[in-house]
Structure 1
Amino acid sequence: MHDEAEEIRLKHIFVGVDLHKKHHTAVFLNGFKRKLGEFKFDNKPSEFPKLFEETKKYLKKGMKPIFGLEDTGGYGRALAVFLVENKQTVKEVNAALPNGIRKANPHVQKYDAWDAECVGQVLVDQLERLPNANPIDRYWIISQLVTTRTAIAGDLNALTNQLHTQLGHHYPSYRKFFSELDGKTSLAFFKRFPAPCHLQDWTADQLRDFLIVPSNYSCSLKKAEQILSLVESDGDTKNEYQEQRDFIIQSHVRRIQNSKHELSQIEERLASLIKETGYKLDTMDGIDVVTAAGFIAEIGEIGRFTSSDKLARFSGIAPLLVGSGDNHKHYKSKQGNRNLHELFYRLAVRQINVTRGKDSKPKNPYYYEYYQQKLSAGKTKKQAIICIMRKLVDVIFAMMKNRSVYVKPEVVSKLAG
């Protein structure tokens, strides 16, 4: 194995690339991490062939280059696409790895050529562990839609909180009106009646008739009577500049409605794109369309990982062995793809949740039993969840590799570790 690694080093030039919005910097290393040269070029397709020309200067007969890029989905995507289309070997280098080299250096440095050299050193040291770059359009657009959805969802949450604040000034008992503030019925009500003064002379029958359509014909006369009764008991809340205050609430409602519409449109597109991939992750308990899209956006084509172990390392779930001499201990990894790590964490938590009520039952008995066994064995709650996360990596890897649906495992009296 050592001879094979040595042969790879001798037959390749390792090109670490530091990526920026306007320009990139490449550093060329041989297989023993000796710097051969550096090259700066603009971040535009017309300049990318110049990188090839520069690389050729360091290639001897029978040698090939291997490129390492940190950000293949952002500033480095165009370069990654160019390199892959030209049949070059391109590896995705997690940003935490070269950052570790920078910190380990006695004199902490931060400039483009040094950053590129750190990427190149990771490329030499961990070539077999690094996944191939994934600049495929389908996965990239899924990633962009997921990012857009996350931003809109954040805006929606902020708008909803602001609406809560505004409504508290107008309707002290507004929380008792509807079960969900951002539901269709609630938004329709507050858009039409931003303040209690707009309900003047409205009867319960009229209010029920108004709410019947947005509530999908579920609003009852009793609900309308309850709202009017609560408004009456709250008293008069009309103040100066009422027109402007009404506008603020109606503006919040409009933006919330628009955000929810945008989220719905994005989720429809994600569902269609997920179907194209052939992955059936949303057949698993705890994975909806949005979560499935998150996994696919971060993992991409599963073929770039040759085993679930590599996917676990990429996700920052595989433990790190640290020690000296006869003393060794496994520690939680803080490297890896943190977005993917968070997805596995949330999925693990969902597996051990229990239903509400007197007859509460585990949502996934297999993982709940496994979790309890780990706790009984002396694991902390966090450690037990990490154990579940590692099992889920195997499940996700198998489902994506085989394009298969999820099959819930049976619970046995004693689960294997």
Structure 2
Amino acid sequence: MKYQEDESYKKFFSEVDGKTALALWERYPSPPCLDGVSTKNLTNFLLKASNNTCSMKKENKIVKLVKEDGCTTKEHQETRDFLVRSIVRDILFKKQEISYVEKELKELMSLLDFQLGTISGIELVTASALIAEIGDIRRFLNAGKLARFAGIAPVYFGSGGKGKEQKSKQGNRALHGLFYNLAVQQVQVAKGSKRSRNPEFYAYYKKKLKEGKTKGQALACIKRRLLNIVYGMMKHKTAYELPDIKE
């Protein structure tokens, strides 16, 4: 198991910073701390820490792995245990601070009355980031102005009447990244399902691929369409509805 030295502790929990996992690391920061602890006592502890959601299989697995690893006591073990507990306390503190920030953001978002959360893939943090990067939507006369600000609109290079449009490498890169990640989520297939998160955008994406565009170019089309939607939603403070996407 070797909590501090390798990654075998990941066999215990899928999320090592989850509520139950942190409770275990704080109470038993290293395998020697589990010496003499019965499966029943460990079961009672984890059931309480997980609000009775932890199964018996978990406790048996932990005990089994500890026995398989044998003696893992290291030099200055008490100091190592102290550091693990210190890290746990730090994680718990930051989680609490995050909850405070999220509560404040929710109140602020309700005052602004933007309904960006109605778009699949936009949660509280993403919506807040979009609003923070865009600022006052009224400073953009149209969606095209916002697209250039975000570096999503193509840039024309040429002279003498000859030239071509190329992908822009300028603009607000943080905002560009937000729209890129959002575009990717629209065409992703939901975990455990064969259905895409946004069927209309997925169909539009597949259509662009059939037309000969690369995946990057198809995503660029979706980025721009999403930007147009976000611009309209913020300007008119409306909710999102699945669009009937056409050429």
Corresponding position: 1:368 with 2:202:
yes
Q: Which amino acid letter does the alignment assign opposite residue 33 of structure 2?
A: H
Q: Which amino acid letter does the alignment assign opposite residue 300 of structure 1?
A: G
The 1-side partners of 2:206 and 2:7 are apart by 45
Corresponding position: 1:347 with 2:187:
no
2:228 to 383, 390, 394: 394
2:14 aligned partner: 179
1:240 aligned partner: 75
Rate the CA distance shift 1:401–1:324 in 2: closer, same or farther, 3 A.
same
Corresponding position: 1:275 with 2:110:
yes
The 1-side partners of 2:138 and 2:159 are apart by 36
The 2-side partners of 1:304 and 1:209 are apart by 59
Deviations 1:198-256 (A, max 9, x none): 11111111111111232121112332122111111111100110011111111111111
For the 8 Å contact 1:173–1:234, the answer to whether it is kept is no
1:264 aligned partner: 99
For the 8 Å contact 2:28–2:34, the answer to whether it is kept is yes
Q: Structure 1 unaligned runs (5+)? A: 1-163
SS at match of 1:360: coil
Deviations 1:21-72 (A, max 9, x none): xxxxxxxxxxxxxxxxxxxxxxxxxxxxxxxxxxxxxxxxxxxxxxxxxxxx
The 2-side partners of 1:375 and 1:222 are apart by 47
2:28 aligned partner: 193
SS at match of 1:323: strand
Q: With structure 2 as the length reference, what TM-score do the two structures score?
A: 0.94
For the 8 Å contact 2:122–2:182, the answer to whether it is kept is yes
Deviation of residue 324 (structure 1)? 2.4
1:216 aligned partner: 51
Corresponding position: 1:334 with 2:166:
no
Deviation of residue 168 (structure 1)? 4.6
1:381 aligned partner: 215
Q: Structure 2 unaligned runs (5+)? A: none
Deviation of residue 374 (structure 1)? 1.4
The 1-side partners of 2:209 and 2:49 are apart by 48
Deviations 1:91-148 (A, max 9, x none): xxxxxxxxxxxxxxxxxxxxxxxxxxxxxxxxxxxxxxxxxxxxxxxxxxxxxxxxxx
SS at match of 1:306: coil
The 1-side partners of 2:102 and 2:153 are apart by 31
240-249 or 401-410, larger mean C-alpha shift: 401-410
Deviation of residue 391 (structure 1)? 0.4
1:325 to 137, 140, 160: 160
SS at match of 2:164: strand
Higher helix share: 2
The 2-side partners of 1:279 and 1:306 are apart by 18
For the 8 Å contact 2:156–2:164, the answer to whether it is kept is yes
For the 8 Å contact 1:284–1:406, the answer to whether it is kept is yes
SS at match of 1:167: coil
Q: Which amino acid letter does the alignment assign opposite residue 138 of structure 2?
A: G
Q: Which amino acid letter does the alignment assign opposite residue 3 of structure 2?
A: L
Corresponding position: 1:250 with 2:107:
no
The 2-side partners of 1:222 and 1:361 are apart by 32
For the 8 Å contact 2:3–2:31, the answer to whether it is kept is no
The 2-side partners of 1:410 and 1:309 are apart by 21
The 1-side partners of 2:90 and 2:11 are apart by 23
Please give the root-mean-square deviation of Cα atoms over the aligned residues, in Å: 1.7
Deviation of residue 173 (structure 1)? 3.1
Corresponding position: 1:313 with 2:148:
yes
Deviation of residue 325 (structure 1)? 2.9
The 2-side partners of 1:382 and 1:195 are apart by 47
User: Which of structure 1's runs of 4+ aligned residues deviate more than 3 A?
Assistant: none
Deviation of residue 352 (structure 1)? 0.6
Q: With structure 1 as the length reference, what TM-score do the two structures score?
A: 0.57
Q: Which amino acid letter does the alignment assign opposite residue 380 of structure 1?
A: T
Higher strand share: 1
The 2-side partners of 1:351 and 1:232 are apart by 46
For the 8 Å contact 1:173–1:231, the answer to whether it is kept is no
The share of aligned pairs that are identical, in percent, is 47
For the 8 Å contact 1:354–1:360, the answer to whether it is kept is yes
Q: Highest CA radius of gyration, 1 or 2?
A: 1
- Give the number of the structure with larger relative contact order, counting CA–CA contacts within 8 Å between residues 6 or more apart: 2
The 2-side partners of 1:336 and 1:395 are apart by 19
For the 8 Å contact 1:371–1:388, the answer to whether it is kept is yes
